[in-house]
Structures are given as structure tokens and as C-alpha cells.
């Protein structure tokens, strides 16, 4: 499938429109839910960290530090990607699956169009912008942590800001983006595969979406482990 | 002209087409009839290249499909138009965009020229005030017209229709049949229609091929079908009392 996706290319004029449409639906359309989840989960991480710092000898700036590390290393790249497997992945599987069930893919094939390239390539290109979504999530996660911590009275603004600057290792951000780049490819291809090769009717579109979500999540979790093992140990 | 010689196709060792040979002539409406499961759709999809055949030969204008280069096959695909059973319109596009789609994809015409050509075809299939509507906003009969318009917009040499009037009321079904017949005559297309609608058989069956259990059981014209003694054909075509009476009257005359 991947080989054929990069095979005979669709006319650029048409492909450009498909890419822009997919950027709108898959990337820009996901910003709202990503912002909402990131902000509140960042807040919860900082509150829980604060509540677990009972020892008065531990500095308050640890709240900011822990929030930053959790959000940048795991929450934004991995947790958001799992959520995207549900949102974006289901959308991709059901939209391609519906095209399969209603013979729209057959109609494209009869016209001589490379359906892999026409349907899947724009999604891969659109989701190459996915790291931008994750950087947005990182910012809002830490910001949510700051708001919850400072306005919840768990630490001062200065302590939190000191915490998020403390022992900062720039490679951690690089590591997060490397993971994200792999996840974006998984998010575009596994759901496309399940949509493209599905059989049956409307009910099977739903089943394919569920199966696609499970496999995309499994692939993300396993790859997350593998990349972490390779890059951080 | 399309010619097939002894084509066979199986799925998971279950034979669906068991060796079909036939010739479908240019400028004629060629009907493929048979009970559900007789292999009609598989046969059509094999000709379209959506399924590869296990053995046999398919010729388009005496050129064997298997021996065509990739470029020739691509040209051939652009010479084919297909009307799917469920119309298969792109639901994210308007009626006009659906019809413009093949032109935008395969020609280097300007957008205004593409729109003009699409509107000529829209007029030809009698679609009124539907250009800006989406497929889910129009009736089944209109969807079929859009599908026909999309199929003929590139001036195809071959038109394939899979159950073009299924799910339509009798009046609309006849209109769609007549439209296909007119287009076939007008553009001298080789038209293949899969159907088990007996009204279509009687109305537009210039050549009829009857499939049974993956084999060609009978072939002839709509006139021949009245006088045939083939039991499988008569049992299938004249299964209703009405058609039995119609046949009796025809034969008496």
C-alpha cells in the first residue's frame, strides 16, 4: 500500500486541493479538542504533583519542573496521539471505508486514478504538520499547569516559572518531535489501510473504525516504547 | 467492440465465471441478464479491470487487454465510462463538480471550458437546477442521471452500467433506459448493461446475453427472447404471469 501511495501521482492541481482540505479537516480541525484536553490535563498534572509534595524540604519549583517534563515527554506527543487515533484515525477509516462501500473507490479506479495516491498521500502530507499540533499542545499543557498551580494557590508564579526552566534539556523536545513525526505517519497510514481494505456495509465501516483505533493505539504505544528505549537510554 | 474469450474467475476456489465467450458490438446496447449470483457484476468488473481474470482473453477493438502497455491501459480507462448500481457519486462534491471531475483530472482544459462541457452534458441528461446540489440532496433518478453524465463527459468509447435502474420507479427506470439507448446511438458507444429488469430487456435489449451459474446460457436480441425455447431463459424472463401473457400474445401475432 505504501509503495503504491508513492506510485503514480495524481495531477498536482487536484492533489493540492485534497492536501489543503485534509490540512483543514485533520490538523486545523483538531486544534480545538487538543487545546481543551491539553490545558486541563496540564492543570491536573500540576495539581496532583503539588498535592504529592508534602515534604516541606522539597522546593515548590518541582511542580513546574514535573509538569514540564510530563507534558513535553509523554502527555503531548503520546497521549494526544492516542486521542488523535480516535478522532483523526476514525475519521480517515470511516471516510475511506464509506467510499469503498459506496463504490466511490471503484469509480476512481475505473477512471484510471491511482486511488492509493489520491486518497492516502494527501493525508500523509497533511499530517506531516502534526508536530505543530503537538507543540501547541505542549505550550497549552504547561500553561494550564501554570494557571492551575498559581491560581489554585499551590505555588507562586516565580516558583513555577523557575521550575519549568530548571534542568532543561533541549534534546527532550527533539525526542518528543521525533516521536511525533513517526506517530503522524502511523496516524495517516493505519486508519487508511483499515478503510481502504474493508468489506461489507455500513455496520462494517463502524467496526473498521474501531479496529483501526485499536491498532493505531497499539502501534503508537509500541513505537513510543521503542523510540524511548533508543533515544533516551 | 469488446470481445471476451473463455474468461474464468474464482474467489477462494469458488468458480464464479466458468468460461464465458461473447462479443459486444459498437453502437448497440448489450444487456447481460441473469439471476442474482449468476456472475453478472463480476463479469462487468473483470471487463473494467477491477478484478483480474484467472484465464481467458479480453479484447478492446481487437487489442488484447493483457498485452496492452501501461500507457495504453491508462488511455483505455479514460475511454471507459461506468454507471454504478448505487451511482457512486462523490458525496463531498456538488453535482457539477462530480461531472467536472474526470475533465479536471485528465484534461488540461481551463476551468471555464471544463464547466461549459459539463453543462452541455448536464443538459443532455436533462438535469435541471441541480448543479449546486450535493448527491444526498437529489432523488435516486437524478443521481443516475448525474452518474450517466459523469460517465459520458469524456466522450467514452465504452459505457458500462451496473443495474442502472434498480431502485427506481417504473417511469424513471424507462427514462433512464431510453437515455442510455439514445446516448449509445448518438455517440456510437459500446454499451454493456447488467440488469435483471425485464422492462429494460424488452425496451432496449439490442443484444442480450443470459448468464447462468457462471456460464453463458443463451444470447440473442429482444425479438429472439420471445421465441426462444431455452427453458432457463423462459423461466427467468417470463417468471411473472404478466410477462407470460405478453409472450403468448406476441407469439400468437
Q: How far apart are CA B36 and CA B19, in angstroms?
A: 18
Mean pLDDT of all residues in A76-80: 93
Q: With respect to residue B233, please indicate whether it lies within any of the assigned structural domains.
A: yes
User: Domain for residue B26, yes or no?
Assistant: yes
CB-based contact, B242 to chain A, within 8 Å: no
State the Cα–Cα distance between residues B52 and B71, nearest whole angstrom.
18
Give the Cα separation of A157 and A61 in Å (integer).
9
Residue A112 pLDDT greater than 90, yes or no: no
Residues B144 and B168 in one domain: no
Residues B101, B138 share a domain: yes
Looking at the fold, whether B58 and B26 belong to one and the same domain comes out as yes
CA distance A60 to A155: 6
Under DSSP, the state recorded for A7 is S
pLDDT digits (tens, 9 = 90+) for B169-212: 888 788 888 888 888 888 889 999 998 888 888 888 889 999 98
**Best B105, B110, B153, B154 residue to mutate vs chain A (most A CBs within 10 Å):** B105
Residue A103 C-alpha, separation from nearest chain B C-alpha, in angstroms? 5
> Can you give the pLDDT at residue A13?
86
Q: Taking residues A5-19, report their average pLDDT.
A: 88
Of the candidates B46, B19, B82, the one whose C-alpha atom is nearest the C-alpha of residue B211 is B19
Mean pLDDT along residues A66-90 = 94
pLDDT score of A80 = 94
Domain of B141? 92-155
SS3 content of chain A, % helix, strand, coil (to 5): 85, 0, 15
pLDDT value of residue B187: 85
Task: Note whether B55 and B169 are same-domain residues.
Answer: yes
* pLDDT > 90: percent of chain A: 77
Q: How confident is the model at residue A93 (pLDDT cuts 50, 70, 90)?
A: very high
Q: Do residue B149 and residue B176 come from a single domain?
A: no
Domain that holds residue A147: 2-232
B166 in any annotated domain = yes
Distance CA A61, CA A165 (A): 9
Does residue B225 sit in the same domain as residue B132?
Answer: no
User: What percent of chain A clears pLDDT 70, i.e. is strictly above it?
Assistant: 100
Asked if B25 and B144 sit in the same domain, the reply is no
**Residue B72 sits in the same domain as residue B164:** yes
What is the rounded average pLDDT of the residues B63-67? 88
Q: Which residue has the cell 513517526?
A: A182
A223 pLDDT band (50/70/90 cuts)? very high
Q: Which of residues 71-90 of A touch B (CB under 8 A)?
A: none
What pLDDT does residue B131 have?
86
Distance from first CA to last CA of chain A, Å, rounded?
Answer: 34
Number of structural domains (chain A) is 1
DSSP per-residue codes, B86-135:
T----TTS-HHHHHHHHHHHH----HHHHHHHHHHHHHHTT--S-TT--G
Residue B84 lies in a domain: no
* Interface probe, candidates A100, A111, A118, chain B, greatest B C-beta count within 10 A: A111
Can you name the residues that pair with B83 across neighbouring β-strands?
A: B161
Same domain? B65 vs B98:
no
How far apart, in whole angstroms, are the C-alpha atoms of residue B125 and residue B241? 34
Instruction: Return the sign of the alpha-carbon dihedral for residues A91, A93, A96, A102.
Output: negative
For the cut 90, the answer to whether the pLDDT of residue A87 exceeds it is yes
Number of domains composing chain B: 2
Whether B61 and B162 map to the same domain: the answer is: yes
A182, A223 contact by CB (below 8 A)? yes
Residue B181 · residue B156 · CB < 8 Å: no
Contacts A11 to B, Cβ<8 Å: 104-106
Question: Are B38 and B103 in a shared domain?
Answer: no
**Surface-to-core class of residue B30, CB atoms within 10 Å of its CB (0-12 exposed, 13-18 middle, 19+ buried):** buried
Instruction: Report the CATH number at residue B162.
Output: 3.40.50.300
Residue finishing a domain among B136, B155, B174:
B155
Burial of B125 (0-12, 13-18, 19+ CB in 10 A): buried
SS3 B150: helix
Model pLDDT, residue A59: 83
Cβ–Cβ < 8 Å for B26, B190:
yes
- In tens, the pLDDT along A144-189 reads 999 999 998 888 999 999 999 998 899 999 999 999 999 999 999 9
Do B186 and B202 fall within a single domain?
yes
Query: Considering the domain boundaries, does residue B193 fall inside one?
Result: yes
* Whether A10 contacts chain B with CB within 8 A: yes
Phi, psi (deg, nearest 5) at residue B104: -65, -35
Would you place residue B141 in the very low, low, confident or very high pLDDT band (cuts 50, 70, 90)?
A: confident
Closest to B149 measured CA to CA, from B117, B174, B171: B117
Question: Are residues B104 and A103, on separate chains, in Cβ contact within 8 Å?
Answer: no
Q: Which three cell numbers stand for residue B219?
A: 444470447
B71 inside 8 A of chain A by CB: no
User: Looking at residue A189, what is its pLDDT?
Assistant: 95
Residue A8: predicted pLDDT: 81
Amino acid at each position: 500500500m505504501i509503495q503504491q501511495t508513492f506510485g503514480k501521482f495524481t495531477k498536482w492541481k487536484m492533489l493540492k486541493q485534497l492536501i489543503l482540505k485534509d490540512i483543514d479537516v485533520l490538523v486545523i480541525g483538531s486544534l480545538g479538542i487538543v487545546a481543551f484536553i491539553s490545558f486541563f490535563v496540564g492543570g491536573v498534572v500540576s495539581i496532583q504533583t503539588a498535592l504529592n509534595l508534602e515534604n516541606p524540604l522539597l522546593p515548590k519549583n518541582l511542580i513546574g519542573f514535573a509538569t514540564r517534563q510530563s507534558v513535553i515527554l509523554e502527555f503531548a506527543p503520546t497521549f494526544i496521539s492516542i486521542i488523535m487515533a480516535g478522532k483523526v484515525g476514525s475519521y480517515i477509516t470511516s471516510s475511506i471505508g464509506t467510499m469503498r462501500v459506496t463504490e466511490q473507490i471503484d469509480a476512481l479506479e475505473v477512471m484510471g486514478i491511482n486511488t492509493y495516491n489520491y486518497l492516502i498521500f494527501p493525508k500523509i502530507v497533511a499530517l506531516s504538520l502534526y508536530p505543530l499540533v503537538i507543540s501547541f499542545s505542549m505550550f497549552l499543557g504547561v500553561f494550564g499547569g501554570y494557571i492551575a498551580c498559581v491560581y489554585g494557590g499551590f505555588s507562586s508564579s516565580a516558583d513555577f516559572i523557575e521550575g519549568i526552566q530548571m534542568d532543561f534539556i533541549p534534546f527532550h523536545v527533539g525526542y518528543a518531535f521525533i516521536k511525533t513525526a513517526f506517530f503522524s505517519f502511523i496516524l495517516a497510514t493505519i486508519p487508511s489501510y483499515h478503510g481502504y481494505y474493508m468489506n461489507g456495509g455500513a455496520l462494517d465501516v463502524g467496526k473498521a473504525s474501531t479496529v483501526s483505533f485499536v491498532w493505531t493505539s497499539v502501534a503508537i504505544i509500541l513505537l513510543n516504547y521503542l523510540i524511548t528505549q533508543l533515544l533516551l537510554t | 467492440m469488446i470481445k471476451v474469450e473463455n474468461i474464468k474467475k474464482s474467489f477462494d476456489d469458488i468458480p464464479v465465471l466458468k468460461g464465458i465467450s461473447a462479443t459486444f458490438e459498437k453502437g448497440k446496447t448489450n444487456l447481460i441478464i441473469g439471476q442474482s449470483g449468476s456472475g453478472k457484476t463480476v463479469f462487468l468488473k473483470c471487463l473494467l479491470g477491477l478484478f483480474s481474470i484467472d484465464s481467458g482473453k479480453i479484447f478492446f477493438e481487437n487489442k488484447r487487454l493483457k498485452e496492452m502497455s501501461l500507457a495504453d491501459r491508462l488511455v483505455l480507462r479514460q475511454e471507459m465510462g461506468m454507471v454504478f448500481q448505487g451511482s457512486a457519486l462523490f458525496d463531498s462534491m456538488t453535482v457539477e463538480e462530480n461531472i467536472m471531475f474526470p475533465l479536471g483530472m485528465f484534461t488540461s482544459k481551463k476551468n471555464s471550458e471544463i464547466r461549459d462541457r459539463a453543462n452541455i452534458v448536464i443538459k443532455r441528461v436533462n438535469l435541471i437546477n441541480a448543479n449546486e446540489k450535493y448527491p444526498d440532496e437529489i432523488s435516486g433518478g437524478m443521481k443516475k442521471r448525474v452518474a450517466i453524465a459523469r460517465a459520458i463527459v469524456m466522450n467514452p468509447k465504452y459505457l458500462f452500467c451496473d443495474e442502472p435502474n434498480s431502485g427506481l420507479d417504473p417511469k424513471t427506470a424507462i427514462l433512464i433506459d431510453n437515455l442510455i439507448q439514445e446516448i449509445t446511438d448518438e455517440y456510437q458507444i459500446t454499451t454493456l448493461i447488467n440488469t435483471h429488469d425485464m422492462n429494460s430487456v424488452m425496451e432496449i435489449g439490442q443484444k442480450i446475453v443470459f448468464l447462468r451459474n457462471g456460464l453463458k446460457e443463451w444470447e440473442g436480441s429482444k425479438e429472439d427472447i420471445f421465441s426462444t425455447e431455452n427453458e432457463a431463459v423462459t423461466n427467468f424472463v417470463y417468471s411473472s404471469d404478466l410477462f407470460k401473457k405478453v409472450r403468448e400474445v406476441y407469439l400468437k401475432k
